[in-house]
DNA sequence: GGTCGGGAGAATGTATACATGAAAGCGAGC
DNA sequence: GCTCGCTTTCATGTATACATTCTCCCGACC
């Protein structure tokens, strides 16, 4: 593919580290140690820090440097609500405008691929990556088909929250995945028939629901992590 | 206030230049001429270009530099639709959570100030800046009161489109301004009474309508600019 | 003993030199 | 005459040296 600069590489690495929770919330990030860790000079590191600040992952104060922004369940839910509103809007616009043959084919393909991957009654671990890719393709195609580049830009930003990325999913419940893929069926149907309002409502609910699932997942995890210490 | 770095200063200057339409759509921006023009080295210019790229004002390709992104009426309308969805969501969340005494007081004050500035039956030119500030305060207070920092971040991005900033308004029609301020009255009422859904709908319409007004304004301008040449 | 002020150290901000890669023009060969 | 490829030129990418400012600590003065 296309060659990437050190800046881009460092940005991606650092973003990944932050999204994975490598750093503590509020932890300060110093340029020089980061540069040494990444094996580059301060220049690409500074560009990466600036980039991630604008993407909303870092806090910054003039002459005082960068710190990892703190996120709570509240922020994650809000990000999903925003994403639901934005993707719902994109879905409506796409349905109103009508999709190109090519985009319709991509969506149809996504739906069919999902059917196939889920046909065994569960999602096999070796199919995880393909399912995830299918999901990303589905959503990005609709965003693109909306004809409004800004919507994609904004949605991408809602992924820049730890745990909120569309690459993160709760995989342990087949029922939930199945329902989610059923949403795709219905969204595809609504878009094909140019039922704009229905398409919008379906997409809103689809994304909102994913956020609720993730929220419960995180809260359950937090409960498990806390409980062992205390006892009744 | 706080001291600003050259990078921040250059970023703000450059953003302003682009939003004002100083550069032609698609025009390439070279680092060295820009640096000379701004009286700084390439370093702050590069940071500014990177920042504005992420903000969505510039296009960029590796090893090929930056260009001014092209925007059409379509993009502006889409930005307003996105903003309507996001601010509507923020408004609903604010109404659901309930506002602090201080925030309620700010909104009340904004409404009263607007009444006062419009009481003469028109908006005097010398009151323009104050009205504009009032409008910004009103919207930002609600965004803050939503409790979701990401919503403010996203909305700010929708302003980063030429002509789409909340600082731009169509001032030549008192009726429209009056109606817009009447929206503020009703939004304040809905938020005070914790009528979340009503607050959301009002804010959506408030922003959407502003976008439509702006669209007509731009189209009218374009028509005037083109017509003199042809005669039928 | 507490507080204010100065200085040392360190981190960020900026400039500049150097490296890398892209694009365009010129020349040679087909 | 056209095309391919080399070379030159210039813009971007990166490293590094230097400037500025913040922070923290220590000492003097109240």
Do B80 and B189 belong together in one domain? yes
- B180 is written with which tokens? 């817009």
Beta-sheet strand order (sheet of A28-29): A28-29, A65-68, A58-61
Does any domain span residue A192?
A: yes
Can you give the residue range of the structural domain that contains A211? 73-226
Residues of chain A with Cβ-Cβ distance to B2 below 8 Å are: 62
Does any domain span residue B231?
A: no
Region of A30 please: left (phi>0), alpha (psi -120 to 50) or beta. Answer: beta
- Contact check, Cβ <8 Å, B46/A47: yes
Model confidence over A69-92: pLDDT tens digits? 999 899 999 999 999 999 999 999
Percent of chain A scoring above 70 in pLDDT: 93
Model confidence over A119-168: pLDDT tens digits? 998 888 889 889 999 999 999 999 999 999 999 999 999 999 887 776 66
| φ and ψ of A40, to 5 deg | -135, 180
Identify the pLDDT of residue B125: 84
- Among B14, B44, B68, where does a domain finish? B68
Token pair 């960029």: residue = B60
Q: Is the CB of B120 under 7 A from strand C?
A: no
Do B39 and B112 belong together in one domain? no
Strands A28-29 and A65-68: antiparallel
Task: Say if residue A60's pLDDT is above 80.
Answer: yes
Give dist(CA A12, CA A17) in Å, integer: 9
A-side interface with B, Cβ within 8 Å?
Answer: 2-5, 8, 46-47, 50-51, 54-56, 62-63, 74-75, 78-79, 81-82, 85-86, 88-89, 93, 146-151, 153-154, 157-158, 161
Do B11 and B94 belong together in one domain? no
- Among B68, B93, B122, where does a domain finish? B68
Do B86 and B125 belong together in one domain? yes
Identify the pLDDT of residue B44: 97
- B201 is written with which tokens? 């709908």
- Among B42, B68, B94, where does a domain finish? B68
Q: Measured in Å, how far apart are chain A's first and last C-alpha atoms?
A: 58
Region of A21 please: left (phi>0), alpha (psi -120 to 50) or beta. Answer: left
Number of domains in chain A: 2
Do B62 and B79 belong together in one domain? no
Do B51 and B158 belong together in one domain? no
Alpha-carbon torsion (A216, A221, A224, A229), positive or negative = negative
CA of A5 to C1' of C14 (A): 22
- Contact check, Cβ <8 Å, A78/B147: yes
Q: In chain A, what's the furthest Cα-to-Cα distance? A: 62
Strands (E), chain A: 28-29, 58-61, 65-68
Identify the pLDDT of residue A166: 64
Strands (E), chain B: 28-29, 58-61, 65-68
Give dist(CA B156, CA A171) in Å, integer: 34
Does any domain span residue A127?
A: yes
Nucleotides of C under 7 A from a protein CB: 11-17, 21-23
CB A99 within 8 A of CB A196: no
Does any domain span residue B40?
A: yes
Residues of chain A with Cβ-Cβ distance to B46 below 8 Å are: 47
Identify the pLDDT of residue A224: 83
Nucleotide with minimal C1' distance from the CA of A30 is C11
Q: Is the CB of B44 under 7 A from strand C?
A: yes
Do B132 and B194 belong together in one domain? yes
Q: Is the CB of A6 under 7 A from strand D?
A: yes
- Contact check, Cβ <8 Å, B154/A153: no
Task: Say if residue A2's pLDDT is above 80.
Answer: no
Q: Is the CB of B62 under 7 A from strand D?
A: yes
Protein residue with the closest CA to the C1' atom of nucleotide C16: B41
CA of B63 to C1' of C27 (A): 27
Closest Cα in chain A to B93: A78
Do A219 and A109 belong together in one domain? yes
The Cα angle at residue A79 between residues B188 and A38, in degrees rounded to 5: 135
Q: Is the CB of B171 under 7 A from strand D?
A: no
| φ and ψ of A61, to 5 deg | -135, 140
**Over residues A13-21, mean pLDDT:** 94
Do A99 and A175 belong together in one domain? yes
pLDDT band at A232 (very low <50, low <70, confident <90, very high): very low
Do A26 and A128 belong together in one domain? no
- B129 is written with which tokens? 């800046």
Give dist(CA A180, CA A173) in Å, integer: 11
**Across the interface, which of B82, B93, B146 has its CB nearest the CB of A151?**
B82
Do B49 and B151 belong together in one domain? no
CA of B34 to C1' of C13 (A): 19
Identify the pLDDT of residue A135: 96
CB B11 within 8 A of CB B51: yes
Do A63 and A81 belong together in one domain? no
- Contact check, Cβ <8 Å, A93/B78: yes
Identify the pLDDT of residue B232: 38
Identify the pLDDT of residue A172: 67
What is the mean pLDDT, run by run of 10 residues, along chain B of 232 residues?
85 95 94 96 97 96 94 93 98 97 97 95 88 96 96 95 71 85 98 98 96 88 72 44
Identify the pLDDT of residue A24: 93
Task: Say if residue A106's pLDDT is above 80.
Answer: yes
Model confidence over A163-202: pLDDT tens digits? 777 666 666 688 899 999 999 999 999 999 999 999 999 9
Identify the residue among A3, A12, A150 best suited for mutation to test binding to B, counting B beta carbons within 10 A and taking the highest.
A150
Beta-sheet strand order (sheet of B58-61): B28-29, B65-68, B58-61
**Across the interface, which of A56, A148, A153 has its CB nearest the CB of B150?**
A56
Q: What is the DSSP letter of B130?
A: H
Q: What is the DSSP letter of B50?
A: H
**Across the interface, which of A8, A54, A89 has its CB nearest the CB of B81?**
A89
CA of A33 to C1' of D17 (A): 18
The Cα angle at residue B83 between residues B224 and B19, in degrees rounded to 5: 50
Residues of chain B with Cβ-Cβ distance to A92 below 8 Å are: none
Token pair 């999602």: residue = A123
CATH number at A29 reads 1.10.10.10
């Amino acid at each position: 593919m296309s060659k990437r600069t050190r800046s881009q590489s460092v940005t991606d690495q650092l973003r990944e580290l932050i999204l994975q929770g490598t750093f503590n919330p509020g932890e300060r990030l110093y340029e020089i140690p980061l540069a040494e860790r990444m094996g580059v000079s301060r220049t690409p590191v500074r560009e990466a820090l600036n980039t991630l600040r604008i993407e909303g992952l870092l806090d910054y104060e003039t002459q005082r440097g960068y710190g990892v922004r703190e996120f709570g369940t509240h922020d994650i839910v809000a990000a999903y609500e925003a994403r639901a509103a934005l993707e719902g809007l994109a879905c409506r616009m796409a349905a109103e405008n009508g999709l190109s043959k090519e985009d319709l084919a991509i969506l149809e393909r996504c739906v069919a691929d999902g059917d196939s991957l889920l046909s065994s009654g569960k999602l096999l671990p070796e199919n995880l990556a393909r399912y995830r890719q299918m999901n990303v393709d589905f959503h990005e195609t609709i965003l693109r088909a909306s004809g409004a580049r800004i919507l994609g830009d904004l949605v991408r930003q809602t992924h820049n929250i730890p745990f909120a990325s569309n690459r993160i999913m709760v995989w342990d419940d087949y029922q939930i995945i199945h329902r989610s893929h059923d949403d795709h069926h219905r969204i595809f149907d609504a878009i094909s028939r140019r039922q704009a309002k229905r398409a919008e409502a379906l997409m809103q609910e689809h994304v909102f629901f994913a956020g609720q699932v993730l929220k419960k997942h995180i809260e359950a995890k937090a409960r498990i992590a806390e409980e062992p210490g205390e006892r009744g």
